[in-house]
Amino acid sequence: MILYGLSTCDTCRKARKALPHADFVDVRADGVPRDVLAAAQDRFGDALVNTRSTTWRGLSEAERARPPLNLLVDHPTLMKRPLVVDGSRMVLGWDRAAQAELGVV
């Protein structure tokens, strides 16, 4: 199981604590492999891009209009967090539904 997130994100910290055996990848430092982003984009669509983030607010209109996958490759902190990948299963975010899907609740 791999947890993609930010080490400074409180939500990601909660997920890391609840999933102590998951490998953690800091998206700011290490990025997210393009194939993982592409699979997540296929699975979650526009929900993968966090349009409430500081990074999003700092983008120009022209940058915001770019394809989401290209944006996420260039700005991995735009990804909604955490993204948990366990084999072929992917879970986005850390709400009750995500926790239940991972068997944490």
pLDDT for 3 equals 98
Residues 4-30 have pLDDT tens digits of 999 999 999 999 999 999 999 999 999
**Separation of alpha carbons 101 and 86, rounded Å:** 11
Q: What is the pLDDT along the chain (105 residues), one digit of tens a residue?
A: 999 999 999 999 999 999 999 999 999 999 999 999 999 999 999 899 999 989 999 999 999 999 999 999 999 999 999 999 999 899 999 999 999 999 987
| CB distance 14 to 94 below 8 Å | yes
**Architecture of the domain spanning 2-101:** 3-Layer(aba) Sandwich (3.40)
pLDDT for 105 equals 76
* Stated pTM of the model: 0.92
The residue count of the chain comes to: 105
Q: Where are the domains of the chain?
A: 2-101
Which residues are marked as active site? 9
C-alpha closest to that of 26 among 49, 48, 2, 7: 7
